[in-house]
Amino acid sequence: MNVEQIYTGCLAQGAYYITSNGEAAIIDPLRESAPYIERLQRDGVKLKYIFETHFHADFVSGHVDLSAKTGAPIIYGPTANPEFDAIIATDGQEFKLGNVTIKVLHTPGHTMESSCYLLKDENGKDTAIFTGDTLFLGDVGRPDLAQKATNLTMEGLAGMLFDSLTNKIMPLSDDVTVYPGHGAGSACGKNMMKETVDTLGNQKKVNYALKQPDRESFVKEVTEGLAPPPGYFGMNVAMNKKGYTSFDNVLNKGLTPIKANQLEAVTESSDAMILDTRNPADFAKGFVPQSINIGLGGDFAPWVGALIVDVNQPIILVTDLGREQETVTRLSRVGFDNVLGYLEGGFEAWKKDGHEVDTVHRITVDEFASSVDVSQDKVIDIRREVEYNAEHVENAYSMPLAYINDWIKDINPSEHFYIHCAGGYRSMIAASILQARGYRNFSEVDGGYRAIQNTTIPCTDYICQSKTFSK
C-alpha cells in the first residue's frame, strides 16, 4: 500500500493517490488528468475509483475528465446528486482496493454531501483518513457555503459539523493519519496550519475546533470571524456538480495565438479582458493598456477567482514566453475556461509593433518616505484586515484588495493617494485595476509594508478606528 499527497501550493489543495496490489484510487483530483494518468502508467496500476469528498467551491475537480479517460467510476457520499453518472455511497459503505479497504464516513456540516474516506490496511486496521473540507489541520471547514442550497443557517450547519466530528472522527484512534483537503492559504477555513499531514491525536490537542467542550461553544468559535466567501465559489460548485467542458478543449482554445495587430479587434468583438500574468516589476514598466496584472508568481488562481468573479468572462492572456499552457491550466482549475488565446510573442511583440504602452507610477520606498506626510496624505493599505490590524502606516486606510470592487467607487479621482500591500504583488493587481477603470492619480509603493518597516515612516501596532473615503 502506498499513499501519495499531491499538493498544489497555489490553491493550497491536496489530492491523494493510493495504490495497492495493482489498483489505484484518486481522491479530489485537480482539473488536468495528465499527471494522474502518468502516475498510473509509471506504476503499472489500474485506476479503480475516483473519490470526491464533496462538491468543491474553490476549485474545479478533474473527476469528470479522469473518469471519461480511464473508465473509473466517480464516488460521492450520501445525499450527493451530481448531473453525471456516479456511485452515491451509503454511510459506512466499503470499497476494496487491492489489499486495502476505503470506508465512507458521511460527515455533513461543511456541505450536506461532505464525506471523509477512512483507509484500512491489509489487516483491517484504521490507518488514515482523508477529510476533505470537514477537518483541516488546525481548523474545520467553514459552515457558511451551503446555506442557500439547504435553507439552513450557518449555525445550523455548524451544529451538524459538530455532530459529524464528534460521532465519526473523534472516536478514531489517535495514530490515524489525517490527510486534509486544504492547508494554510485556502479560503475554505480561517485558521489552517502550514503543515499538510498530521495525526488525529495531535489534532485533538491543537485544533481549536476539536477542543470545544460542547456544541454551543463549537458553533460560536467556528462561525466567528469568517470573511465573505469569494464570488466565484458558487460557480465552481455548479461546475463540479453539473460537469464541464473537457480540459483538453479548454487548453486547445486557450493556446490560440493572437498577433499584436489583431489584439484590439479580438478584444472589442468579444468584450474580452486582457490578463497579464508577468511579475509586477515587469508589468509596471510597460503593458498593453487596460490590462489587469495578476502574476503567476503569487496566489494566482485564487486572486483571479476573487477579483474577476465571473468564470465565463472572455480572457486574452499576456504571459512570459513559454508559460501560456501553465496559465491556461491554472485558470481552468478555478473554472475560468473561456480563454480565447494569448498575445503571440508576448508584450515585447506588442511593443516592437509600435502599439501604445501604459505604465504604473511605481515609486521606491525611499521616495515614499521622502514625500509622504501621514498626517495629510492618503495612504491605502490593501493587505488583509488581520495584517493591517497587526501593524500599519499611521493614519493609513484599510482597504483590502479582496473588496476593491466595493471600495473603488469611494475614491476621489482628483486627489492623489499612495497604495501598498506587504511586498508589491497585491498592490500591482490593485494598480492595474485602478488604471483600467480610469484612476491614475496614485503612486504604488515597491516593496510594500516589509520595506516601509525599515524607514522612519511612523507606524502603529494597534487597531485604529475604521476609515473610509468620501468624495
The predicted-structure confidence for 248-263, as pLDDT tens digits, reads as follows 999 999 999 999 999 9
Q: Is the pLDDT of residue 466 over 80?
A: no
Residue ranges of E strands in 121-176: 126-132
Tell me, what's the pLDDT at 464?
47
| Residue 335, amino acid | G
For residue 461, name the pLDDT band (cuts at 50, 70, 90).
confident
Which three cell numbers mark 13? 489543495
State the residue for C-alpha cell 478533474.
62
For residue 7, name the pLDDT band (cuts at 50, 70, 90).
very high
Give CATH 3.40.250.10 domain extents, the chain: 246-344, 362-460
The top-level CATH class assigned to 246-344 is alpha beta
For residue 15, name the pLDDT band (cuts at 50, 70, 90).
very high
How far is it, in rounded angstroms, from Cα 46 to Cα 62?
17
DSSP structure string for 283-316: HHH-B-TT-EE--TTSSHHHHHHHHH--TT--EE
Alpha-carbon dihedral angle through residues 88, 90, 94, 96, given to the nearest 10 degrees: -20
CATH superfamily placement of domain 362-460:
Rhodanese-like domain (3.40.250.10)
**Cβ neighbours of residue 69 closer than 8 Å, sequence gap 6 or more:** 33, 37
For residue 470, name the pLDDT band (cuts at 50, 70, 90).
very low
CA 169 to chain CA mean position, Å: 26
Tell me, what's the pLDDT at 48?
98
How far is it, in rounded angstroms, from Cα 312 to Cα 211?
42
**Per-residue b/e over 403-434, b at no fewer than 16 CB within 10 Å?**
bbeebeeebeeeeebbbbbbbbbbbbbbbbbb
SS3 460: strand
Please give the model's pTM, rounded to 2 decimal places: 0.93
Give CATH 3.60.15.10 domain extents, the chain: 2-234
Alpha-carbon dihedral angle through residues 250, 256, 260, 266, given to the nearest 10 degrees: -60
CATH code reported for the domain at 2-234: 3.60.15.10
The predicted-structure confidence for 108-130, as pLDDT tens digits, reads as follows 999 999 999 999 999 999 999 99
HSE-CB at 92 with a 13 A cutoff on CA atoms is 1
Angle between helices 215-223 and 154-164 (to 10 degrees): 120
